[in-house]
Amino acid sequence: MRMMLGRRRWCSSMMRDATADRASRLKAWGSTKVLRCMPSTTQSSQQRTGRESRPPAGASNAKTQIKLADVPSIFSSKYLGFLDPQEKLFGERTGGFRWSLEEEEDKETLLNLQDQFQPFRDVVKLVSSQRWKDVIQEEQHFKGTLFRFPLRSEASEISDNLYDSDKVVKLFDSFIADADISTLFLRNVSSVSLQHINTEGSVNVRLTVTSSPTVNPGLKTRNESNIDGSTCFKTITSTSEGKKQTKTKWLVTTCCMKEGNVPELDSLAKKLSFRPQVDLAFRCSQESVLTDGRLSVFLPL
């Protein structure tokens, strides 16, 4: 596990991860063999190792999807789980492991193995202002969702793309460059913050982006249409390190194909847990022209 405790990328959300969300994410990663690692239940530690028959294309699909990390992990609600598509950490035919905050043996492990879970301890305190011990012992559940992606430091079967400090800085800079559109097409995310935590635990906020909540959709498509669509205005506010705060207003149209029109798309949507969607946005300003828009296409392929 030592190689997993170095540089890492974190994503946090104040929404708890539903079982359906975990299942959909594992489908996208092609790692259906670890579905038992994350959901529920009253299994013993030996039974919770996720042992299950190998899916036909599980590992190969995971290789194409997991770009940054070989062993991502998730902490949400009452579960903390590691996904191991290469099956190196927890044994052959074991796609990961899950600890439950409802199991005394698991709680003892999470509290006593301080080195292994130190990254989670630090970030939980940062994003929730709660002590790790209180979350594990008293609350027995985490009010939010943390994704942890240990950045790859040596080539693996999944990818030979390595990440050093310079590459991480470039990742940050590329995200900051497109800050005003980072939340443009997101329905359920109203704020994004990019922070750097150094080895001493100091936090530097590189970027904060917020978008106005879309309470009233504005214009909707007719019921007889083959698509579900809506059009609204969105205001994006961006504050980054060393720069003035900026505000941009966008006209955003969202279209999603209804079920029952294209059987092939219906089959893919059911299999991959999302439907085809197209979003189009135009910036509202005197200098803007109609060719300066942004397009987002999401297809279940």
* Structural contact between residues 31 and 62, judged by C-beta atoms closer than 8 angstroms: yes
| Inter-residue contact 266 to 260 (CB < 8 Å) | yes
pLDDT score of 45: 34
Residue with tokens 């698509």: 227
pTM of the entire predicted model:
0.64
CA distances for 96 relative to 48, 86, 225, angstroms: 9, 9, 44
Q: State the Cα–Cα distance between residues 163 and 8, nearest whole angstrom.
A: 10
pLDDT for position 260: 87
Residue 219: pLDDT band with limits 50, 70, 90: low
pLDDT, mean of residues 125-152: 89
The backbone torsions φ and ψ at residue 277, rounded to the nearest 5 degrees and listed phi first, read -145, 140
Give the pLDDT score at 142: 92
pLDDT tens track for 19-66 = 555 544 444 444 333 333 333 333 333 333 332 222 323 333 333 335
Distance CA 254, CA 296 (A): 9
More confident residue, 43 or 273: 273
In DSSP terms, which residues pair with 285 in a beta bridge? none
Residue 165 is encoded by which pair of tokens?
A: 């400090």
Lowest mean pLDDT among 4-8, 22-26, 37-41, 132-136: 37-41
Question: Domain residues of the chain, as ranges?
Answer: 2-163, 171-298
Residue with tokens 């579900």, as numbered in its chain: 228
- 125 pLDDT higher than 50: yes
* pLDDT over threshold 80, residue 284: yes
Does 103 have pLDDT greater than 90?
yes
Residues with Cβ within 8 Å of 222's Cβ and at least 6 positions away in sequence, in order, are: none
Cβ(287)–Cβ(258) below 8 Å = no
The residue among 31 and 290 whose pLDDT is bigger is 290
* Model confidence at 268: pLDDT above 70: yes
| Angle, vertex CA 225, rays to CA 223 and CA 231, nearest 5 | 80
Quote the pLDDT of residue 196. 84
* Long-range CB contacts (within 8 A, 24+) of 176-182: 176/206, 176/207, 176/240, 179/207, 179/209, 179/238, 179/240, 180/209, 180/236, 180/238, 180/246, 180/248, 181/236, 181/281, 181/294, 182/209
Find where tokens 């009452």 sit.
78
Q: Quote the CA–CA distance of 135 and 138 in Å, as a whole number.
A: 6
Q: Residue 28: enclosing H or E segment and its boundaries?
A: helix 19-28
